[in-house]
Amino acid sequence: MSDKEKIATYLEKLGIDWKNAEQAKAAIRSITQLDPEEKNFPEIASRLSVRVQEQREAQVEAERLKKLNAAAA
């Protein structure tokens, strides 16, 4: 998978419409602090990967807390 494909996949997982070029560029700048230029694609993909992992971990923690609260009620 190319870095460009990875970026599209990560943006999708983050709920960002990667097909909307302006929205995707703005999200990339906001999340990675990098300009969406081909020379930056490997680092952008890496940083987005970290963000996706953080989001996944937050969702797992939220589910865990939800179950704990339900069990305590």
Over residues 9-37, the pLDDT tens digits come to 999 999 999 999 999 999 999 999 999 99
- The dihedral region occupied by 34, where left means phi > 0, alpha psi between -120 and 50, and beta the remainder, is beta
The pLDDT tens digits for 56-70 are 999 999 999 999 888
CB burial of residue 27 (10 Å; 0-12, 13-18, 19+): buried
Run of H or E residues at 49: helix 41-72
Domain that holds residue 11: 3-72
Q: What's the structural domain count of the chain?
A: 1
